Structure 1
Amino acid sequence: MSSKRQEQAKIIEKLSKKKDKEHGMCHFRKNEIEKLLSMFNKYVENTTNKKKLDRLKFRDILHDMFGMTDDMLMDRMFRAFDRDSDNYINHDEWVLGLSVFLKGVLEEKTRYCFSVYDLNQDGYISREEIFQLLKQSLIKQPSEEDPDEGIKDLVELVLKKMDKDHDGRLSYADFEVSVKEEPLLLEAFGMCIPKPEKCQTFLNLISDEYGMKY
């Protein structure tokens, strides 16, 4: 076995044994991890870094593979994947990020979505952040004289429903309880998890039946 193959085998083994919810656990089988790594290597071969995904390439993948278009959310998703905050996504971050993105349990997806929506990363989703997120994701109606007023009203409705401790902002605890009560609130402020059909299409790419033609 070549040294490159040995190194990849070690990475696959390490990732397949990840069981720590706090620092990332892996829901993929070894053969799926192998295909994800091959996919990753293909994506990075034409990048400047050659070993890591940059923000623009990651955004292209989100757009092409999952039909995502919201620049602000895609930037926040990049930061959620980029666990060591070095402005690149390495192969571990790629696999573990996709594990939550595609196969995560509700608790993992709740943490992930909260981190995406917490725009300034202070541990809360403020009234201002909710406004910015809703303004970005809602389609403006041409007939509306002041669409911001409608969004402000919606922000207040959201806070009334989700702000459990009534402090005018959403803590992780507020968000978690709200999502457990109503799972649809997981993506209350914009799409940051792929639609089921897009998710399944991607998973088909790394299934045993797929011929590695990406």
Structure 2
Amino acid sequence: MGGSTSKLSPELLVELQKSTHFDKKEIQQWYRGFIKDCPKGSLNLEQFKEMYKQYFPFGDSSTFAELMFAVFDENQDRLIDFKEFLTALSITSKGQMDEKLQWAFRLYDQNNDGYISYDEMLVVVGSIYKMMGGVTKLSSEEDTPEKRVRNIFRLMGVSPDGQISIQEFHKGAKEDETILQSLQLFNGLV
């Protein structure tokens, strides 16, 4: 999308109607808001971090924002354009469970090798714990990122020195109430 644009192209509008869960009116509304907040037509990492800082003021959201930015930025040009923004928003807010799980898997699979390692999951879970800033009271079984990740690996039937495949992730996530709740967090928000 590149430079500043005040009007959504008819081609992009049609493409987004086909590829997202938003209708024409919703896409146009989101576009107006996006351009108002991002007049250059894209969002950089620092802007994205600032946005997360506003939503999570009690903790350090910078690492989690970086991880999320990488998933939003599908073409890896270090910018999130409107298409990337709306596609991610569509999945996280209106997507089916399997779409959300596929998207979440991409968040955890940081090196894009098709598997989630213990260390990759620990980075994401640790960033979530930092972002929450101790606001949420956790049980003694999950009061550290390490305990939470070990529990997830156990639930998915994988040892901590193994790796979680997409199939194991889908199956295990559907059995973990915390993961299911986090995937439903943005439902109905838009």
Q: TM class, shorter-chain normalised?
A: 0.7 to 0.9
CA distance in 1, matches of 2:63, 2:184: 16
Aligned residues: 173
Relative to the length of structure 2, the TM-score reads 0.74
| 1:27 alignment counterpart | 21
Tell me which of 87, 101, 112 is aligned to 1:110: 101
* Cα pair distance change 1:151/1:95, threshold 3 Å: closer
> Which consecutive unaligned segments of at least 5 residues does structure 1 have?
19-25, 141-149, 204-214
- Following superposition, the deviation at residue 162 of structure 1 comes to 1.1
1:30-179 matches, within 5 Å, as 30-45=24-39, 50-64=40-54, 66-67=55-56, 70-138=61-129, 151-163=145-157, 168-179=162-173
| 1:144 alignment counterpart | none
CA distance in 2, matches of 1:42, 1:74: 21
CA distance in 1, matches of 2:147, 2:90: 36
Partner amino acid, structure 1, of 2:10: A
* Cα pair distance change 1:95/1:174, threshold 3 Å: same
- Following superposition, the deviation at residue 195 of structure 1 comes to 3.6
Partner amino acid, structure 2, of 1:105: Q
Q: Percent identity?
A: 26
Contact 2:17 / 2:24 at 8 angstroms: preserved in 1? yes
CA distance in 2, matches of 1:167, 1:113: 21
Q: What do residues 10-56 of structure 1 show as CA deviations (whole Å, max 9, x unaligned)?
A: 322221122xxxxxxx01111010011111111222xxxx2221111
CA distance in 1, matches of 2:145, 2:84: 35
Contact 1:73 / 1:116 at 8 angstroms: preserved in 2? no
| Secondary structure in 2 matching 1:98 | helix
> Which consecutive unaligned segments of at least 5 residues does structure 2 have?
135-143
- Structure with greater Cα Rg: 1
- Following superposition, the deviation at residue 128 of structure 1 comes to 1.8
| 2:137 alignment counterpart | none
Q: What do residues 92-131 of structure 1 show as CA deviations (whole Å, max 9, x unaligned)?
A: 1111111012111111110111111223332222122233
Q: What do residues 41-74 of structure 1 show as CA deviations (whole Å, max 9, x unaligned)?
A: 11222xxxx222111112233443x548522221
Contact 1:179 / 1:185 at 8 angstroms: preserved in 2? yes
- Following superposition, the deviation at residue 182 of structure 1 comes to 3.4
